[in-house]
Amino acid sequence: MIFIKRYLIPRLIQYVLVIFVGVTAVFFIPRFLPSDPVVRTISELRSRGSYLDPASIDEMVADLTELYGLEGSMFDQYLAFWQRLFRGDFGVSFFQFPTPVIKLIKTALPWTLGLLVVTTAVSWTAGILLGGVAGYFNRKGWSRALDVLAMIVRPMPYYVFAFVLLLLFRNVFPVAGGAGIGRQPAFTWSYISDVVRHAFLPAMSLIILGMAAWFQTMKLIVQNVNASDFVQYAKFGGIKERRIVSRYVIRNGILPQITALALLIGQIFSGALITEIVFTYPGLGTLLYNAIVTGDYNLIMGITLFSILAITTAILVIDLIYPLFDPRIRYT
């Protein structure tokens, strides 16, 4: 009961408040910008050579105003915005009219979710284990070599490292798309292997950069833990070194890394979107890029809102499972 009152309920309240503030910001920020999406849309149509008579312009302004949820006062728009949000209605995409925004997000989401979950799990787990062992045996030559390699790789931006992989492996793996052209999704080995080949380079760019960051951080943490009194006492007590590393050192060093994962989940998500743009991967990153280029107002807002919800939910889940790793929280 104490755990629920002091730990669970405050985090659920914080979760709701963060979503509320984020959604409110997404609503107000575009409306405070000097550009009007309705005027911009009509200007784009005219720039393409379309003739619009005054009557057609008036009808189009009314239709676009309703389409973008800009009818009525600011308060009316805000209430309508929340009502549409609860229904999962983000309007229709202008660039891919009349396809609903939610349908485009549902199509792109599995690609981003699969790429992000797999790469985050692999890079975090591998980085933690390698960093923990390298931190404990920090005087070994292989440990120093891994540290030097991580120092070289870690400062690289996602898009730079992605371009490096493109140049090195452009003749080995596909460099664009999520599957072969014309391939229909099917639960067959042929289709799955094709998807894995197309996802290899985007995944490796995220995994290698992520591993370098987690490796360096974990190595520094483990070096501090290794100097602790309880570790030294375990060594003097004759406990096997393998047990000391797994039960004493890595287990205590992993706790700050779980917190860091929750804090950096937004950066990991943004890194995945950038990587998708470089490789033209059919996820939310490529969809967002196309929406920005074409000025697709509804699609930009829909992806932004979904990103806020996904990131805050991931942080909440990590925060709620943290007591499983740190028993002290369950008894505070």
Report if residue 95 sits inside a domain: no
Q: Are residues 173 and 319 in the same domain?
A: yes
Report if residue 96 sits inside a domain: no
Q: Are residues 78 and 118 in the same domain?
A: no
Q: Are residues 139 and 235 in the same domain?
A: yes
CA distances from 5 to 186, 198, 226 (A): 47, 47, 35
Report if residue 94 sits inside a domain: no
Per-residue pLDDT of the chain (332 residues; tens, 9 = 90+): 666 777 778 888 888 898 888 888 888 877 776 666 677 767 766 666 666 666 666 777 777 776 666 777 778 888 888 888 888 777 777 777 678 888 888 888 888 888 888 988 999 999 998 888 888 888 888 888 888 888 888 888 877 888 888 888 877 787 777 777 767 777 777 778 888 888 888 888 888 888 898 898 888 888 888 777 777 777 777 777 778 777 778 777 887 888 788 777 777 788 788 888 888 888 888 888 888 877 777 788 888 888 888 888 888 888 877 777 766 665 55
Residue ranges of alpha helices (H) inside the chain are 2-3, 9-32, 37-47, 54-67, 74-86, 101-136, 141-153, 158-169, 189-226, 229-236, 241-243, 250-279, 284-294, 297-325
Q: Are residues 236 and 266 in the same domain?
A: yes
DSSP state of 96: T
Q: Are residues 68 and 127 in the same domain?
A: no
Rounded to two decimals, the pTM is 0.78
Q: Are residues 276 and 168 in the same domain?
A: yes
Domain end: 52, 86, 120, which one? 86
Domain end: 33, 61, 86, which one? 86
Q: Are residues 174 and 74 in the same domain?
A: no
Domain that holds residue 271: 101-327
Report if residue 91 sits inside a domain: no
Report if residue 93 sits inside a domain: no
Total domain count, the chain: 2
CATH code of residue 321? 1.10.3720.10
Report if residue 164 sits inside a domain: yes
